[in-house]
Amino acid sequence: MISRLPRIGDLLRRRKKPAEDGSIIVDAARKATGGKARTRIVMTMAVFFTIYSTIAGRLVYLGLQNPDNSGGPQSRVTASRPDIVDRNGEVLATDIKTASLFAEPRRIVDADEAIEKLSTVLPEIDYEQTYHKLKSGTGFVWLQRQLTPKQQADIMALGIPGLGFRTEKRRFYPSGETSSYIVGLTNIDNQGISGMEKYIDDQGLTDLQASGLAVARDLKPVKLSIDLRVQHIVRDEVATGMERFHAIAAGAVVLNVKTGEVLAMASVPDFDPNNPYNAQDKDRLNRMSAGLYEMGSTFKSFTTAMALDSGKVTLESRFDASRPIRIGRQTIHDFHAKGRVLSVPEVFIYSSNIGSAREAEAVGIEGHREFLHRLGVLEKMQTELPEVARPTEPKVWKQVNSITIAFGHGVSTTPLQTAVGCAALMNGGFLIQPTFLPRTAEQAMAVAKKVVKEKTVEGMRYLYALNAEKGSGKNARVPGFRVGGKTGTAEKVVNGRYSKDKNFNAFVAAFPMDDPQYIVLTIADEPKPEKPGMGATAASNAGVMAANIIRRAASMLGVKPDFSHENGATLVSYQ
């Protein structure tokens, strides 16, 4: 029995081995199965993570992209702008809220049907362009900016899926075309593109808008030097004058000679800034500051002042105007020739081309050119309004140039600069650059430049008053307001030659002549006789317009009428 025991033990051990081996196999199988499961879970999680990452990345990408590949609309509300007001606080420009129509093309079910419905409210809509927008598959496109409240309500009533509205700001101009060239315009994004609107942007408003700091409540109104009451009168008179005298254009400016402030300025044809569909037309030009013209006999103001200021000529000086001046191929003659020797006052009131040429000869070519530059009429004007033209002059001044420039031919400048130069001859001899912002007399003197002597100013005041009494300025007289001035009738250049049928007329008036406060300069471009048999010189049109402006606006400008003298000439003496 004992001898058999080891074999039984061995047998028992052999029987246990399969069991032990089996458990080991089971454990290994279990371990293998668990590893595969974990691998599948990790792989599944990786797949889902990849999918969601892709979706998230795509959403971020789309969010950063401009929805409209053509440089389309921004999602922000249009930036605010400050109000623009006149010197008395009357609003000239302000922001108003408006609705703009947009579409989400991905949500548009039927583009053709949507356009057909929209055209019932917006008949001007471009079918082809709108169709391409609605079929573009983008997330956002503008369809129509700045709708009226009625248009918005009517479109909402159509119930077209995929359309919506955004509130924007647009500019509203209560005075309409009255001050359109001065106030200017903004574009569809409420950014200034002309006039004082552009000036305001250039002074830092654009940077404020870009930084998000242009908040409406923080923007103070911008006050201009313009008096809306006077501006209305000026615009009304030039529009009436253009029609009455059958001109292609007309304009006027009222300038404070003591401060350089522009109180009013208008040019017609003009435009309505609330509906500027024709603002870019060729004939829409601010002729007062951006138009260049040969100013004709108004330049004789500068010629005579130059002669007096040089000390070589006095009011007692005399010039031979008995016969025309021939120089080269040109012959200089007088429109109303007297055929005799003329005194300086006679040269001025008879508007003698020959006498003015003799005055220029007395000063000399270099002195003539220097004086006109000193008065600023041949320099680019420095003012806030962006629309300013640069005057033209001969590259080399010869004798013939000086002679023709003496009576306003051969150089071109702007009417506003002519008014500024004449103001210097009335205000004590100071050149003060014009401004469209309020300016006190003290502030003006701080930037003023002395350009002529006090004695010269006295002489020019006398001549202006005398011309209104006995010369071509009679039509500009206004009882009680002591008006003086000078006419200018210039032949226009057509195809390189002076035309006998097309004139550019101007009249520069100053008042009250005992102590001039204001310059009024009016222009009429290619006027025709008011009636058959009548003339079309500056005295008969530009002079009449100036008188009408002064008659209506003088009291608003603070000038009190004085009826103790019949005309201004007796109030002014020259010693």
Residues recognised as catalytic: 297
Which residue, 257, 238, 255, is CA-closest to 247?
238
The answer to whether 303 touches 411, Cβ cutoff 8 Å, is no
The answer to whether 436 touches 226, Cβ cutoff 8 Å, is yes
Which residue, 343, 336, 338, 302, is CA-closest to 322?
338
Q: How far apart are CA 298 and CA 123, in angstroms?
A: 52
The answer to whether 502 touches 492, Cβ cutoff 8 Å, is yes
Q: How far apart are CA 140 and CA 67, in angstroms?
A: 5
Phi, psi of 101 (to 5 degrees): -90, 130
Tokens describing residue 463: 């001549």
In the numeric block, the tokens 């509906």 are attached to 275
Phi, psi of 483 (to 5 degrees): -95, 140
Residues 6 or more apart whose Cβ sits within 8 Å of residue 244: 530, 541
172 backbone φψ class: left, alpha, beta (φ>0; ψ -120 to 50): beta
Which residue, 525, 422, 545, is CA-closest to 434?
422
DSSP 486: E
| 3-class state of residue 350 by DSSP | coil
In the numeric block, the tokens 């102590």 are attached to 515
Number of H helices, E strands in the chain: 17, 18
Which residue, 410, 435, 28, is CA-closest to 196?
435
What is the number of residues in the chain? 575
| 3-class state of residue 211 by DSSP | coil
Q: How far apart are CA 182 and CA 205, in angstroms?
A: 18
